[in-house]
Chain A
């Protein structure tokens, strides 16, 4: 569009900068609107309204940090944070370890590699709701795994994580790991495939064993892959919601509540918008805390995340 023919009139002004590349700008309007209105505008709006006493409808009666004070005094929020901490910590470590070990196994030039890969990854295609309901059924104490093992003659066998407040979070973890490890395995496998054969040959010449080579040479070389995987796992953990709703509904009692669920309950069920906004601002804050060091590492401090 900008390759216009010669300017028709000498008196015509130079085209304004605004109209340079006009078509590209028009075509980018949806993107610009999304970025500015929804992402920047929406987030700012929520943060600003978290300082109000909004209940059923958003209102601008400023209450300072009241909502945050109430939030951190709420048992339900504290339980949610604790749960997310336990789930997050375990899920992060186990997903990384399992993902890497599976990828390393698949990288050992084995037969049926693609069959194994297909099996490990298929849960990732499924919805968290499907995952949660499937595991809810398997962990059903009356008919599921527990009753089967008891039926084999081990009468006192107890494995009932989703109905026990102390262990319910591990019931979620079993399902979460089932769904999520495949993705990390794939990323790790791609990272392992990117490592030069010469490294392996050199390690072999030096007489370093396979396991030791992985630990001492390969893992340090795969630092960027691990960081990417960590960011991915972390952003997935904070979003944890569907799985809890489907598998346990937050129960028994409040034992498996998570922050994302807290936000939605307060915004859309309890009609206490201010609490919901304050809780979601805390979620945003935790993401910022995770993202800034990552952006710093990734871009070497040149740009801010």
Chain B
């Protein structure tokens, strides 16, 4: 399972284009595609309608009159509790959470992976095994000890605290990713550098880092989507003024006060989903590689 690349299709070549099997095959695929595309389509059309049109029914109908007002409202006016400055605040928080978490977790994990594959020391494999097992432990068992830890160092409720949490919980999978990658680099290269007198950091920065750029991209894709989509840690380790976008979105849409504005809700939902969607469509095969690497542990 180490090498997961989507090479070209295999299997026997179909003979006829309109054979019964082919019609069945494409029919099934198109039907299933509709199930997958439906929510995205519904979100888009709903977010472009006015409320009177939504009340008339038919969520599937295209908007008769396109309006961007719900988007503007979702971005800058939607209310959570007493704050009515829209999702823009959550977006800002998410960005301020994402960037340091990303830098910190990828840096630490790449150094870990490098140390684990080239500079093994007594016990290093034990720590690594604990780390990987840790990836399977339900987060719920570690939530409260981390609350205590963050309180002790005075980061509870702050963006810094959440950055630390993301770094901790991103570590198992990213370390695994980098360790496997560095282990696949021929050992002779490392030995030659050692003979030339290069040390730990010199080899890391001058040899390993430039060679590991593809895996860095995979790790970044994995972390951007993971951190952006996080809800659990955001809801527990931050306070309303530092809520990430997902938490704020949930509070806007599921708030019990006021009239439900479905078009604004859907615009807000799409806005939150936009960042991972852009990453997904822009990265293509790298995303698949990232999740496959993230999924197949070991």
Chain A residues proximal to chain B, CB less than 8 Å: 1, 3, 17, 20-21, 23-25, 27-28, 30-32, 34-43, 45-47, 49, 58, 102, 105-110, 113, 116-131, 133-138, 140, 143-145, 147-148, 151, 178, 182-183, 186-187, 189-191, 193, 197, 200, 204, 224-225, 228, 232, 235, 238-239, 241-242, 245-246, 249, 260, 263-264, 267-268, 273, 276-277, 279-281, 283-284, 287, 291, 298, 305
Q: Does B295 contact A (CB under 8 A)?
A: yes
The CA of A75 and the CA of B240, in the complex, are separated in Å by 32
Q: Nearest residue in B to A101 (C-beta to C-beta)? A: B28
Q: B257-298: which have CB < 8 Å to A?
A: 262, 265-266, 269, 272-273, 276-277, 279-281, 284, 287-288, 291-292, 295-296, 298
A117 proximity list for chain B (CB < 8 A)? 6, 288
A to B CB contacts below 8 Å, 8 in the list: A23-B199, A27-B114, A38-B142, A107-B9, A120-B36, A200-B12, A245-B231, A291-B133
The CA of A28 and the CA of B141, in the complex, are separated in Å by 24
CB pair B141–A127 under 8 Å, yes or no, is no
Beyond the given pairs A49-B144, A138-B38, 18 more chain A to chain B contacts, judged by CB atoms under 8 angstroms and listed by A's residue number, are A3-B199, A28-B112, A28-B115, A34-B171, A38-B134, A38-B149, A39-B131, A105-B29, A107-B9, A109-B11, A123-B39, A125-B280, A126-B276, A129-B246, A130-B273, A134-B40, A190-B4, A305-B133
Interface stretch, picked from B66-74, B120-128, B181-189, is B120-128
B254 proximity list for chain A (CB < 8 A)? 246, 249
Instruction: Name the one of A129, A187, A281 contacting B141, with C-beta atoms under 8 angstroms.
Output: A281
CB pair A27–B11 under 8 Å, yes or no, is no
With A34-B171, A105-B25, A193-B7 as contacts: A130 and B272 at CB distance below 8 Å:
yes
The CA of A147 and the CA of B276, in the complex, are separated in Å by 31
A130 proximity list for chain B (CB < 8 A)? 229, 246, 249, 269, 272-273
A134 proximity list for chain B (CB < 8 A)? 39-40, 42-43, 266, 269
Tell me the dominant secondary structure on chain B's binding face: helix
CB pair B144–A273 under 8 Å, yes or no, is yes
CB pair A43–B141 under 8 Å, yes or no, is yes
The CA of A242 and the CA of B127, in the complex, are separated in Å by 30
The CA of A35 and the CA of B201, in the complex, are separated in Å by 23
B114 proximity list for chain A (CB < 8 A)? 27
Q: Nearest residue in A to B43 (C-beta to C-beta)? A: A134
Mark B213-238 against chain A: 1 for CB-CB distance below 8 A, else 0: 00000000000010011111000100
Q: B38-79: which have CB < 8 Å to A?
A: 38-40, 42-43, 46, 54-55, 57-60
The CA of A190 and the CA of B140, in the complex, are separated in Å by 32
A187 proximity list for chain B (CB < 8 A)? 292, 295-296
Q: Does B209 contact A (CB under 8 A)?
A: no
Q: Nearest residue in B to A245 (C-beta to C-beta)? A: B250
The CA of A186 and the CA of B112, in the complex, are separated in Å by 28
A39 proximity list for chain B (CB < 8 A)? 130-131, 133-134, 137, 142
Q: Nearest residue in A to B252 (C-beta to C-beta)? A: A133
CB pair B295–A183 under 8 Å, yes or no, is yes
Q: Nearest residue in B to A232 (C-beta to C-beta)? A: B295
* Across the A-B interface, the 10 shortest Cβ-Cβ residue pairs: A24-B119, A127-B229, A39-B134, A42-B145, A23-B200, A125-B280, A280-B140, A42-B142, A35-B130, A242-B231
Instruction: Name the one of B13, B60, B272 contacting A127, with C-beta atoms under 8 angstroms.
Output: B272
Quote the shortest CB–CB distance from B155 to chain A (angstroms).
14
Quote the shortest CB–CB distance from B186 to chain A (angstroms).
20
B228 proximity list for chain A (CB < 8 A)? 127
Quote the shortest CB–CB distance from B227 to chain A (angstroms).
11
Quote the shortest CB–CB distance from B69 to chain A (angstroms).
18
CB pair A264–B9 under 8 Å, yes or no, is no
CB pair B108–A30 under 8 Å, yes or no, is yes
CB pair A21–B121 under 8 Å, yes or no, is yes
B230 proximity list for chain A (CB < 8 A)? 127
Instruction: Name the one of B139, B175, B266 contacting A31, with C-beta atoms under 8 angstroms.
Output: B175
A197 proximity list for chain B (CB < 8 A)? 10-11
Quote the shortest CB–CB distance from A182 to chain B (angstroms).
8
CB pair B57–A147 under 8 Å, yes or no, is yes
CB pair B291–A228 under 8 Å, yes or no, is no
The CA of A175 and the CA of B280, in the complex, are separated in Å by 19
